[in-house]
Amino acid sequence: MQFKDIAGQRDVINRLTEIIDSGRVSHAQLFLGATAEGSLQLALAYLQYLCCEHRQHHDGGDLRADSCGECPSCKKLSQLMHPDLHLIFPNAATSKVSSSNIWSGEFMTEFREFLLQNNALGTLDDWYATLGTENKQGMIREQDAAHIVSDLALKSYEGGWKMMVIWMAEKMNTAAANELLKTLEEPTPNTLLLLVAESDERLLPTIRSRVQTVRLRVESGERKVENQAEFAQMLVEWLRLLFNLKKMKELSAQVDRMAAMNREQQKQFLGYALGVMRDCFLHGAAGLPVEIGSGDQKFDAMFPQMVTANNIELINTALNEALFALERNANAKIALMQLSFSMSMALKKR
């Protein structure tokens, strides 16, 4: 798959090739968007460009660069036969495969063919029809996650990247997601984990916060965007107060506003905050600006410098603990107030 074979998404693609060229490849990424609109295509073309032995750079034209499509690596990847490319996808028992221990590997030949035949644009329903699951819903399960862990622990066959693509990552069951979380927390060197999902709402916030999101340009719902703006504003108001705990009244009022959201929104908000902190850390370290959305350029420029190697772990832990508490139905005001104190302390330790 080359970028030129993908419809649209030029801005997204050009940003991706720029990042690869600069050598700042993030080991875990989420390609978010409908498969039929090219999210899986984008992930596959991304890998091909990353591994290409003769990357082509174009002056002018709508694509700044693309893989060559000719070198051995390009050929293996375009046929999905690269030994370091691993694929995981939803699967279910069929008339042929009924063992209780099924995983993606049992259907690899069919899946490769499915991708090659419809140019990686086939939907999940198309896949189930191909597979003949007879109305059983597919899933990515513990056995798949165990293979993700063991495949990534192996030595790379070709000495380069070990690549894992998880298609329809939102179909992971909880056990699989928890197993994957461990891999995300302690990545082995030269591994690349690409999650491809149509919606991130069903992904654990703790997973979302550990992956860099590449969002396809076609926006599905406007509510999500609205939420994002609300979250950005709420986050900035909260962060400002954390720098000055003497304003306890204001902080308490802010915590009340956060606790007034429903439980699901509270968790989404903390997931959002985790993502912003992670971006601040990564971009701040690389000296790049981060759009926090405060509407205040001074704040947007200053804040990323507050998140450093000294406190990113403390910040992560504080937010994850609050998430965990909310998931267990703890009192939201108490959990968020506690979080405010630990965040405030963490920010001071930059």
Each residue 24-63 as x (binds Zn ion by CB under 5 A) or -, in order, gives ----------------------------x-----------
- Segment interacting with Zn ion, rule: CB under 5 A, options 67-75, 82-90, 228-236, 271-279: 67-75
Asked if 71 interacts with Zn ion (CB under 5 A), we say yes
CB closer to Zn ion, 52 vs 169 = 52
Q: How do 56-57 and 65-66 pair as beta strands? A: antiparallel
Instruction: Please list the residues that pair with 91 across neighbouring strands.
Output: 139
Tokens read off for 116: 């090659």
Alpha helices in the chain (DSSP H): 10-21, 39-51, 72-78, 108-117, 124-131, 142-153, 174-185, 205-208, 222-242, 248-259, 263-285, 297-302, 312-327, 332-348
| DSSP run (H or E) holding 164 | strand 162-167
106 class by beta-carbon count within 10 Å (0-12 exposed, 13-18 middle, 19+ buried): middle
Q: How far is the CB of 62 from Zn ion (least distance, A)?
A: 20
φ/ψ of 339, rounded to 5, equals -60, -40
Closer Cβ to Zn ion, 56 or 227, answer by number: 56
Give 18 or 256: the residue with its C-beta nearer to Zn ion.
18
d(CA 311, CA 236): 18
Nearer to Zn ion, 49 or 89 (CB): 49
Nearer to Zn ion, 65 or 74 (CB): 74
Stretch that binds Zn ion, among 68-76, 108-116, 119-127, 169-177 (CB under 5 A): 68-76
> Based on CB atoms, which residue is closest to Zn ion, 71 or 97?
71
Selected binder of Zn ion within 68, 146, 149, 290 (CB under 5 A) = 68
Minimum gap (Å) between residue 125 Cβ and Zn ion: 33
Looking only at residues 211 through 240 of this chain, which bind Zn ion when binding is defined by CB under 5 A?
Answer: none
Minimal distance, residue 41 CB to Zn ion, in Å: 17
Kindly tell me the sign of the dihedral angle through the C-alpha atoms of 126, 127, 133, 136: negative
User: Which residue from 47, 74, 168, 172 is in contact with Zn ion, where contact means CB under 5 A?
Assistant: 74
Q: Which residues bind Zn ion (CB under 5 A)?
A: 52, 67-68, 71, 74
